[in-house]
């Protein structure tokens, strides 16, 4: 089947179902310039030990993590949503998709304008106190570190000052997935009649079990990814091309 036909088929599935759940991975953000920080060997890890984004490493020396964050956070936080993120925001606005489940921590779906976003691995744009759970904006935390408060400590006052350690909500190595977005993602995967995977080769467990949940409750599956995935043979349509290109063409077909 030609690329045109595949894109047409996917647009018809979207129009027919009107409640699709979109599941995204790193591939949707590469054209926003987000480096793949999880893979050692990419730039940052020549300078820093990747154990600083593991829970034991962070607890051992949080100030070292924040030194790395001072350098890397402005680059990541400066990334902007691309055509694919903006397309998904329009789809949600016109009622053609139910929401987005993402493995990404870049916060770009929310920035693009999607409101129903389940961030399975947390976000680099938010931090929380490990003691009391108080949520902070990472922009504010980085400013405090830049002014010399390293590591940043929770000032939340509940009878007495908390003084807990503040950590980005982005999931670190050795840490479980946050329970709320995970539970709601499983529910959404059960309810939907169409799951569209974009930019994930579905290798990371347990997030890659969500397409299974959807398929087992009778949902159609569509996949847009450059690589083979373990779910290709069960997908109604598999499009091997760049997320940005496919979303742009889908947008034209759907008049968005």
Task: Please tell me the count of residues contacting Zn ion according to CB under 5 A.
Answer: 8
> Rounded to an integer, what distance in angstroms lies between the CA atom of residue 111 and that of residue 58?
28
Catalytic-role residue among 109, 118, 121, 252: 121
CB 141 within 8 A of CB 134: no
Beta pairing partners, 165: 153
- Does 101 bind Zn ion (CB under 5 A)? Our answer is no
Binding of Zn ion at residue 165 (CB under 5 A)? no
How distant, in Å, are the alpha carbons of 38, 81, 150, 151 from that of 146? 24, 26, 8, 10
Q: Please check whether residue 20 is in contact with residue 14, taking contact to mean a CB–CB distance below 8 angstroms.
A: yes
Q: With binding defined as CB under 5 A, does residue 156 bind Zn ion?
A: yes
Looking at the Cβ atoms of 82 and 126, the one nearer to Zn ion is 126
Hey, is 43 helix, strand or coil?
A: coil
**Counting contacts by CB under 5 A, is residue 170 touching Zn ion?**
no
Using the contact rule CB under 5 A, the part of the chain among 40-48, 118-126, 158-166, 211-219 near Zn ion is 158-166
Does 162 engage in binding with Zn ion (CB under 5 A)? yes
Part of the chain binding Zn ion (CB under 5 A), chosen from 23-31, 70-78, 159-167, 227-235: 159-167
Structure token pair of residue 248: 């742009």
Asked whether position 132 contacts Zn ion by CB under 5 A, the answer is yes
Nearer to Zn ion, 25 or 152 (CB): 152
Other Cβ atoms closer than 10 A to 217: 12
Q: How far is the CB of 167 from Zn ion (least distance, A)?
A: 11
Does 154 contact Zn ion by CB under 5 A? yes
Q: Does 193 bind Zn ion (CB under 5 A)?
A: no
Pairing verdict, β 117-119 and 97-102:
parallel
Alpha helices in the chain (DSSP H): 3-17, 44-47, 55-60, 62-77, 83-93, 108-112, 138-146, 179-191, 210-216, 243-254
CB-count burial class (<10 Å; 0-12, 13-18, 19+) for 179:
exposed
Per-residue mark of binding to Zn ion, 50-89 (x: CB under 5 A): ----------------------------------------
Residue of 64, 131, 150, 184 that binds Zn ion (CB under 5 A): 131
Active site residue 85: no
Question: Is residue 141 a contact point for Zn ion (CB under 5 A)?
Answer: no
Please report whether residue 155 would count as binding Zn ion according to CB under 5 A: no
> Measured from the CB of residue 47, what is the shortest distance to Zn ion in angstroms?
30
Query: Can you tell me the distance from the alpha carbon of 124 to that of 63, in angstroms, rounded to the nearest whole number?
Result: 17
Q: Which residues are catalytic?
A: 121
Name the site residues for Zn ion (rule: CB under 5 A): 129, 131-132, 134, 154, 156, 162, 164
């Amino acid at each position: 089947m030609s690329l045109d036909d595949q894109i047409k088929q996917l647009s018809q599935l979207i129009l027919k179902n009107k409640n699709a759940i979109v599941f995204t991975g790193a591939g949707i953000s590469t054209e926003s310039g987000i480096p793949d920080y999880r893979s050692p060997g990419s730039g940052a890890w020549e300078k820093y030990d990747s154990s600083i984004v593991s829970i034991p490493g962070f607890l051992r020396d949080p100030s070292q993590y924040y030194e790395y964050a001072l350098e890397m956070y402005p680059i990541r936080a400066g990334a902007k949503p691309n055509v694919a993120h903006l397309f998904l925001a329009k789809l949600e606005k016109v009622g053609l998709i139910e929401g987005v489940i993402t493995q990404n921590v870049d916060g770009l779906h929310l920035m693009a304008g999607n409101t129903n976003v389940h961030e399975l691995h947390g976000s680099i744009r938010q931090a929380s106190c490990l003691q009391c759970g108080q949520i902070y904006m990472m922009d504010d935390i980085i400013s405090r570190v830049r002014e010399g408060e390293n590591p940043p400590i929770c000032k939340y006052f509940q009878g007495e000052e908390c003084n807990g350690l503040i950590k980005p909500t982005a999931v670190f190595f050795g840490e479980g997935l946050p329970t709320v977005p995970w539970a709601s993602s499983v529910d959404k995967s059960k309810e939907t009649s169409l799951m569209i995977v974009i930019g994930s080769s579905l290798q990371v467990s347990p997030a890659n079990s969500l397409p299974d949940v959807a398929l087992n409750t009778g949902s159609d599956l569509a996949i847009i990814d450059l690589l083979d995935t373990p779910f290709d043979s069960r997908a109604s349509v598999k499009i091997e091309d760049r997320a940005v290109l496919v979303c742009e063409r889908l947008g034209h077909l759907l008049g968005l």
